[in-house]
Every structure is written in C-alpha cells, then in structure tokens.
Amino acid sequence: MTVRGENASRRRLRYRTDCDLEIELSWFGVTDVGRRRETNQDSYVTLPPIFAVADGMGGHSAGEIASAAVVRRLAELGGSIEVSENDIDELLADAVDDIELDAGETELGAGTTVTGVCLSAEDQPTWKVFNIGDSRVYQYFKGALSQITVDHSVVQHLIDTGAITEEEAETHPHANVITRAVGFNEAPVPEYTSLALIPGQRLLICSDGLTKELTDIGIQHFLATQPTAEAAATMLVQQAVENAGRDNVTAIVLDVHAVGDVIDTGSVQAAGIDLSELDEEVDTEPVTVFEAP
C-alpha cells in the first residue's frame, strides 16, 4: 500500500493560474486491508490537481508493486499548472515500465486498475475523470447518486450486450475478470469523461473492495448522511469491511464547497458552521498548489 499526498478540509485552490477563479474543496482518503487479505494491494494519491485510486493484482506482492508504481507516477502531477489527457497517458505508460522493472518475472504477472479525477484545463470548471479497470468514480449531487465511470470488465461487457442482467452479474463466475489494466506489459488505455465541477458536489473514488460489499443504495445513504468528506470516507470503508471485507477497501471522498462566488450553503450548514459567521470560520486565503515541483 502506497499513499501520496495528504487530507485537507476547506482548502481554497486556484482553478487555473491564468484566471482568478478559486474553488474550495475538502478531501479525505482512507484504506483498509479488509478481513481476508494478508496485504493491502490498494494505493491512492491526493495531491491537487490529481486524486486517484489504484487496485493492484498479481501473485505475492506483484499487485502492491503495480498500484504503488501508478500512484508514484501520478503523484508527479501534484502542483502542476495544467494537466492534459496526454500527461496522464504518458505517466501511466511510464508506470508500465516501472512495474516490469520492479516486479520482475512473476507467474501471474503484475497489474493494477486505476481511476480518479483531475482538475481540467478547460475554461469552465471541470473535472477530468479517467479509469482503467473496475475501480469507480461516483457523483452524489442533490440527493442523486451517479456512477461516472464504466467498468472495464467481462460482466460489464455482458451487461452492455444484453447477455446478462445487472442482478445476474452480481453472482457471475467471472465477476472479478477485468478487460483493461495498467501493467502486464501492455499499453494502458484510459477512458476519459468530462464532469462539471459545481458547488454541492460530492465525489467518491473507490476500489472494487468497496463496491463488492455495498450496493448503490448503501453508498448513496452514507454519502447523503455524513456531514464531511472525512466522515463519509471513513464510514464507507468501515461498513464495507464490516459487511464482509473480502478485499482491500479504499475510498477518497471530495466535497466541492465553492466555485468562485457560488457557495454551497448546504454543505456549510451540514458541517456545523453558522452562516452568519462564515467569514470568521472559513479561511478564504487562497493556497497556491500549482507551483512547479
């Protein structure tokens, strides 16, 4: 298990250096080995503008090596002025080389899923969502939960083609077989999606160790009822482990409190902050995170 970055509460960031727009975010990442695994092969990074989870696979320590390689490479984007899809592609390709070098010859090979979000370079406030494999990104907004990424897996393909139903997928014998990964000496092929960055938005980035144990209804419940990113991420992982904990469980929760002058008053009140004391309670000084490393 490898972690890059730190958790933060109500951090103000400049969306881009060539404009005055600022955003206010909270984020919290947490991981647990679960109840049946001896090692934690999940890794994650929380270094603005990049937030991502990698779920390793392979014999012995190969999965841990693979997920660590991806997170270390993506962490190079921390503090970047602008990040493009090409930047992510190149770093994931570098991670494949790292995995081959670090893992050496293994019977099962070494690879990892990866999914996450990055502040986009687009003019309008936007998240760039990316994924390879079956780790997921969800959005919770105005009482509704949406799965933003689409699994790269055998069962998802069968669902898409109408061969099986979503209910049948839950017990399908190939439920754990993915069709894309980072590693195994193959070029990584991420799928990208643009998602509006808006006040009141809560994002969940997670490994399949969480989605194996919690239904979408359960995920929505905990995202809806927990007042902070820290409470939501901690509760989701705790519940997944308590339900069965068959795999490593990792979650990052991001809350968007403000975009420019538009403030999500609901999240402010939920956090126990008196609106009349907003100027006193919330640090509005911008924090520069886009300096070159």
Per-residue model confidence as pLDDT tens digits over 253-263: 999 999 998 99
Instruction: Give residue 287's pLDDT.
Output: 34
- The Cα 188–Cα 93 span in angstroms is 6
Tokens found for residue 89: 């592609």
- What is the DSSP track for 189-210? --EEEEEE--TT-EEEEE-HHH
| Confidence at 290, pLDDT banded by 50, 70, 90 | very low
Query: d(Cα 226, Cα 275) in Å, to the nearest integer?
Result: 19
Torsion sign (Cα): 8, 13, 15, 16: negative
The pLDDT tens digits for 116-135 are 999 998 889 999 999 999 99
Q: What is the mean pLDDT of the chain?
A: 87
- Decide if 60 contacts 50 (C-beta within 8 A): no
Are the C-beta atoms of residues 5 and 46 closer than 8 Å to each other? yes
More confident residue, 139 or 264: 139
What pLDDT sits at residue 107?
A: 66
Measure the CA–CA gap between 44 and 205, rounded to whole angstroms.
Answer: 10
Instruction: Compute CA 285 distance to the chain's CA centroid, rounded to the nearest angstrom.
Output: 27
Element at 49 (helix H, strand E): none
Q: What is the pLDDT of residue 162?
A: 76
Residues 224-242: tens digit of each pLDDT: 999 999 999 999 999 999 9
pLDDT in tens, 78-116: 998 789 999 999 999 999 999 999 887 776 789 999 999
Percent of the chain with pLDDT over 70: 84
pTM value is 0.88
Q: Where are the alpha helices (DSSP H) in the chain?
A: 62-74, 85-103, 154-160, 166-169, 208-211, 216-225, 229-243, 265-270, 278-281
Can you read off the two tokens belonging to residue 29? Answer: 């990442």
* Terminal Cα distance for the chain, rounded: 24
pLDDT at 123 (0 to 100): 85
pLDDT in tens, 6-29: 999 999 998 887 788 999 999 999
> At 177, is the pLDDT very low, low, confident or very high (cuts 50, 70, 90)?
confident
User: If you write DSSP's letter for every residue of 92-109 in order, what string do you get?
Assistant: HHHHHHHHHHHH-S-SS-
pLDDT at 291 (0 to 100): 33
Please report the sign of the dihedral spanned by the C-alpha atoms of residue 194, residue 197, residue 198, residue 204.
positive
Is residue 66 a contact partner of residue 90, using CB atoms and an 8 Å limit? no
DSSP 8-state class, residue 231: H
Angstrom CA distances, 151 to 25, 105, 132, 157, 178, stand at 27, 28, 8, 9, 8
